[in-house]
Amino acid sequence: MANSGTLFEATLAKSWVASNIPLIRIKLTETGEERPCDERVDLENLRLFNELKSTSNDSFSIRQIKPHQLKSLVHLNKKFKDTLGLVFIEFSKYNIVKVIDIISLLTYSKNTGCMSIKSNTSIGYNLVRKGDIYLITSDFISYLEGL
C-alpha cells in the first residue's frame, strides 16, 4: 500500500485536473536530494512551486521540510515575478489541506517561535475535501493572486 504522502500527491493531482482552471501541472521527478519541491503548477498569471506534505496528526512540524527545499522555495519566490513557493499540508483526519506561502510560513515561525502548524492555525488557505478530491476553486486562485 502507498504511503500517505504518495496518496496525497495523487489526490492533489486529480484535484488540479478536476478544478477546470486552465493550468499546466508538472510533477518534479529529479533524482537526488536537491529536488526543490514536489510539483510546479503554471496558471494564467502565476507560477507555483509546491512542496506537498501529509500528516495524520493534529500538527505539522516545519522541520519536516528539508532545508534545501525551504531555501529553494524562498529563492524561487523572490527571484521570479508572479511566482510563489507554497507548502500544501494535508491534515488527513480533518479532510483539509492548509496552503501556506513560504514567506508567510517562515515569518509566522519567526514571530511566534512556533515550529509547527495546526489545522486551525489562522494563516494560509484551507482546501476542503469533497469525495476523492480537494476543491480547488477560483476563490483559491484569487487568494493566491493576492499574495
> What's the pLDDT score for residue 6?
87
d(CA 145, CA 147): 6
d(CA 44, CA 103): 22
Report helix angle 67-79 to 102-112, nearest 10: 120
In 3D space, the residue among 72, 99, 70 whose CA is nearest the CA of residue 87 turns out to be 99
Q: Phi/psi class of residue 124: alpha, beta or left (left: φ > 0; alpha: ψ in -120 to 50)? A: left
Give pLDDT tens digits for 37-47: 999 999 999 99
> What's the pLDDT score for residue 124?
96
- Could you tell me which residues are beta bridge partners of residue 74? none
Positions of the chain with pLDDT lower than 50, given as ranges: none
> What's the pLDDT score for residue 35?
77
d(CA 128, CA 147): 20
